[in-house]
Amino acid sequence: TFSGTWKVDRNDNYEKFMEQMGINMVKRKLAAHDNLKITIEQNGDKFHVKESSNFRTLEIDFTLGVNFEYSMADGTELSGAWTMEGDMLKGIFTRKDNGKTLTTTRIVQGDELVQSYNYEGVDAKRIYKRG
C-alpha cells in the first residue's frame, strides 16, 4: 500500500532529468534539496496526496484513470492520469507548454517508495522513506 507519509531520502540522476526538463541551474540546485514530503491516502481507486517541500505545500485529489491537472513547483503545467499496473502506480502526463510526455511510476519496495521519472529519454528516481 502507498498510504502513509514519505520523505525523500535520495535522488538518482534527478539533476540530469531536471536539466532535460529545461529547469535552470539555480532552480535545479534548490530542487535537488527540496525536502519533499508526500502523504498519500488511498481509498480504492481514489487518492489524496499532500505534498510539502521547501517550495510550497499543496493537496491533490485524483482517481485512477481520470485525467487531472498538476502544476510543478516551477509553474510548468501537466495534464494526465495515474493508473495501477499490478503493484505499480503508472502516471502519464503531458506538458501543456510543449505537448511532450513525462512518465512516472511509484512502487513500494521494502520500506521505501521508489518514484521513477522519464522525460525525453532521460530517466531519474527519487527514493523516499517512511517518515
Please list, in sequence order, all residues whose beta carbon lies within 8 angstroms of the beta carbon of residue 114, skipping any fewer than 6 positions away: 106, 107, 108, 125, 126, 127, 128
Binding letters toward ligand MYR, positions 21-40, x by CB under 6 A: x-x--------------x--
Cell of 38: 508526500
3-state SS class at 59:
strand
- Indicate which single residue of 18, 36, 108, 113 sits in contact with ligand MYR (rule: CB under 6 A): 18
CB of 115 to ligand MYR, least distance (A): 8
Residues that contact ligand MYR, how many (by CB under 6 A):
14
Cell of 52: 510539502
> Which residues make beta-bridge pairs with 57?
52
Q: Give me the residues that bind ligand MYR (CB under 6 A), please.
A: 18, 21, 23, 38, 49, 51, 60, 70, 72, 78, 91, 93, 102, 104
